[in-house]
Chain A
Amino acid sequence: MILQKLAAYYDRVSADPATADVLPKPGYSLQQVSFCVVLKPDGTLQGFQSVTDGNEKKPRPRKLLVPGQSKPSGSGINPCFLWDNAAYLIGFKADDPKPERTQESFDKFRERTLAAEDEIRSPAFAAVCSFLKSWSPDEARERAGELTDITTNFGVFKIAGEARYVHDDPAVIAWWAAHGDAGGDDSTEGFCLVTGQHEPIAKLHEPKIKGVNGAQSAGALLVSFNAPAYESLGKAQGANAPVGVATTFKYTNALNYLLSRPDRRTGLGDATFTYWSDQPTQLEDFFDPIFGDQPAPKDDAAPEDKQRALQVKTFLEHLRDGHAAGDAFDRESDVGFYVLGLSPNASRLSVRLWEQSTVGQMQKRLTTFMREVEMDGISADYPVTVRRMVNATARIIGDKPDYDSISPRLSGEVIRAVLTGKAFPQELLINVLARIRADSQCTPIRAATLRAVLVRNQGVLVEPYLNKQHPSPAYNCGRVLAVLAFAQEEALGNVNAGVIRRTLGSVMATPGLQLGRLQRAAEVGHIPKLKRSLPDFVRDELASISSQLKDDVPTQLSPVEQSVFMLGFYQQMRFTESIAMQVSSGARVRTRNGEWVRSNGEKQLAELLTKLAIPYAYEPSASLPTGPDRWPDFVVPATDDRKMIFIEYLGMDTPEYNDRWEQKVKAYALGGITEDGGEKGRLLIIDARKGRLDDITIMNLLGKVIPINSINKTEGETE
């Protein structure tokens, strides 16, 4: 199927008028041309010109479409038609060790050109012929000075005053199409296993494939039988797998084209990946960022680069949120989409990955992936890509990752998992854990990777943000350690990776043996040294985590549980660090239950809920799908007769506060939570923007959604 789909891609690109000239036509090939011989119309030499690709900063030879295939390697004399290197074209070779051979090459070239003299009726071609008849290599040697620089690659002919090259002359093209490459057409007829037709069968699958990282620079072959062990049933070379000449031409050129475009290929690990779809699709254009790490364009980058970066970001956001960019995606969802991963093996290429699916399926898998790698600390400007996931397993030496320590096979397997939607390689989890243990660092990417593997492979649910009500004891042990680490750092400053960070590995593996001791040490040595209201804050956090743990500290944790521990640690760390700043500066208010709420208004609401014996959680976890403010204020758990209730307290009346509130309402709606009772729950808004409300008013509002008879009043309470 690979060859068939590549050949179909060739057909698609050639048929599209916008890209019709990008691919070589049968009988032609793309070659690097660095100079041309400019002739006067009568055939005498006017001069030599260098041919570059138009990039003024770094001029390089230009790729031109010339008649015939690449020059074969070897020591024979193989003149090409109307193009060749300087030795054949004009008999010039810089620092020539064998002038007779150069002379011979030139003679053969002249012979080949003159053989068609009578058949091609074109003044340009006639000029070339008369030039070749009168030219001698000695004249070239006289001009060695100007020639040496420009004759690095191949050369072509041009007539002064004409814009096109001689080989592009219509008469020449027509003749070439009719007589073609007389050199190598000894192919026999046979059954092509790609098209199912009887056709001439290719002996060698040329042109070679270039652009695979690590393959030999002259190009490698995808289909080759270059040793006796690879031949079967007495067949030789191409007969081992009969593929038609036309199909061979199509697939090799299509693959070369794909590998030459930086936006259609990525190198990852030991393989190079390329992808395409049956028709032009959005996914084709924006697939690249999933793999690689496109750095955000610098401020002085070209406007096209910035625009592209913005498009990519928008596309990825749409992909993650699942409502991909509108109608275009729906129209395209049945279009076939293919990913091919190639690995080099000296002069051969092996297929590392071949994934054949549709745009819709691929989009679903990518959406799943992006949702799995969401993590507190990952910003949209630096999203988790496959490359970054794999780099998370690299050792960090000093401050920089040591990319050589990454297993090359791992990248391939991770990409396979992402593109097929199947399980991640379990070694990814083990590797990342080992790195965390060795470096004592959990970077956001490592946390995201752990979460992705846990969610996909193990089915263990961990949210992107801290979940204060997570049931797993391992998670809560991690949270404890984070609070203790925070306390130590705040109290003692940066003590050269303090005791707690140093014991991360052992606490992770055997929390039951360590946490008690560490907690006592913190209580004695660290917490009393904290300033202002931080001791209370830390003790409140520990108390609330302990109530989740319920003295159920596990003695030993398996690697999967250790990953959950790690995520608890990481998420609690981020949460604590951000809240602690507010606590220190007095921006937070403590309720009687030990929560640190954002305002006195929220404190009032919290204490009312307690008085009415309504169970609640304050900012339990970031459960809103999008938006800057993901934390619901108060969440009352669901009961048998009603769904979850989300209570939002509005305390300020500034434009930006109101803006954020608007966005939050939208996020609630997206999540299925509305004031009238959506599918996920009901939203209750306590609007105190114009001024603080009194207890009675708030109780009445609460009474509207929570049935009165289920509100137990404590003794001695009057309405």
Chain B
Amino acid sequence: MPFGIRLHVWGDFALFSRPEFKAERVSYDVITPSAARGVLEAVYWKPEIRWVIDRLRVLRPIRFTSQRRNEVAVKVPANAVGSAMKAGQGNLGIYVEEQRQQRAALLLRDVAYVIEAHFDIVSGEANPAKHLDTFNRRAKAGQAFTRPYLGTRENAAHFALLDGSYEPHDELPADQRNKDLGWMLHDIDFANDRQPRFFHAQLQDGLITVPPFHSEGVRG
């Protein structure tokens, strides 16, 4: 891929929530393309480009740990916000004591991935080199709009651009290198009523090849 990038991403914890275990969270075994896109977009994104994930490489053993956290049961409703904006005032607070919910999570411990991706120009001038250059510069400098995260915001991610100066160690043990991961969330189709799209993820020698979003392998 002439304008592809490779980003080494790692962190202490990661939580790529499965859709079916969303209330009491259980993580997928590996990073989802959607979460990988999130990391890249945190580093550099403009409405003119769209990131497309090509491959994901798993570098560390897949280990789980569990934790419980106190959260709240409600969200601030969007229409309430809308009407408050129109009216100029409104009560949008959540009284946390009344809405406490303890939620458990089964998350990943000590993860490291290599994200291989490229971007498509969606609008604006067709100058991919400019965007690529900006991304490379930002990734090298460690710049990001918001701190990239692994699945959920509290699992901060470290990142480093792989431009050939070093290769991260592959520490995935032999018995975890080949696995059928079942149907995994690819991404959300925001153009079509926010439908989730899934693809059949296979870990082959530590590598997951991600089919393009609009290909046959991605169903929803």
Contacts and interface: CB of A to CB of B under 8 A. Distances in A.
Interface string A162-183: 0000000000000000000000
A226 B23 contact: yes
Interface residues of A, number: 39
Given A228-B75, A232-B22, A343-B104, A191 B182 contact: no
A416 B105 CA distance: 15
Interface in A1-52: 1-4
B52 interface: no
A233 B24 contact: no
Contacts of B198: 191, 193, 196
A112 interface: no
B103 interface: yes
A708 interface: no
A348 interface: yes
B86 to A, nearest CB: 21
A499 interface: no
Contact of A354 (B64, B175, B182): B64
Contact of A224 (B19, B23, B63): B23
Interface in B15-64: 18-24, 26, 29, 63-64
Grouping DSSP codes into helix (H, G, I), strand (E, B) and loop, the B interface class, with mixed when no group exceeds half, is: strand
A412 interface: yes
A194 B22 CA distance: 15
Contacts of B18: 241
Contacts of A226: 23
Interface string B91-131: 00000000001111110000000000000000000000000
B11 interface: no
B182 A1 contact: yes
B64 A345 contact: no
A472 interface: no
Contacts of A194: 182-183
A420 B196 CA distance: 32
A348 B24 contact: yes
Contacts of B19: 193, 240-242
A235 B196 CA distance: 11
Given A196-B198, A232-B22, A233-B194, A351 B106 contact: yes
A229 B24 contact: no
Given A234-B194, A361-B175, A345 B26 contact: no
Contacts of B219: 191, 196
A506 B73 CA distance: 50
B198 to A, nearest CB: 6
Contact of B74 (A3, A227, A241, A353): A227
B58 to A, nearest CB: 16
B101 A351 contact: no
Interface in A299-353: 343, 345, 348-353
B20 A351 contact: no
Given A191-B220, A227-B74, A345 B102 contact: yes
B200 A350 contact: no
A360 to B, nearest CB: 10
Given A1-B182, A4-B182, A412-B66, A351 B24 contact: yes
Given A228-B75, A412-B66, A354 B106 contact: yes
Interface in B154-199: 175, 181-183, 185, 188, 194, 196, 198
Contacts of A241: 18-22
Contact of A422 (B23, B63, B72, B196): B63
B133 interface: no
Interface of A: 1-4, 191, 193-194, 196, 222-230, 232-235, 240-243, 343, 345, 348-354, 361, 412, 416, 420, 422
6 contacts: A1-B29, A3-B20, A227-B23, A350-B103, A351-B21, A422-B63
Given A345-B102, A351-B26, 15 more contacts: A193-B198, A223-B23, A227-B23, A227-B74, A227-B101, A230-B22, A232-B22, A234-B194, A241-B18, A348-B24, A350-B104, A351-B24, A354-B26, A361-B175, A412-B66
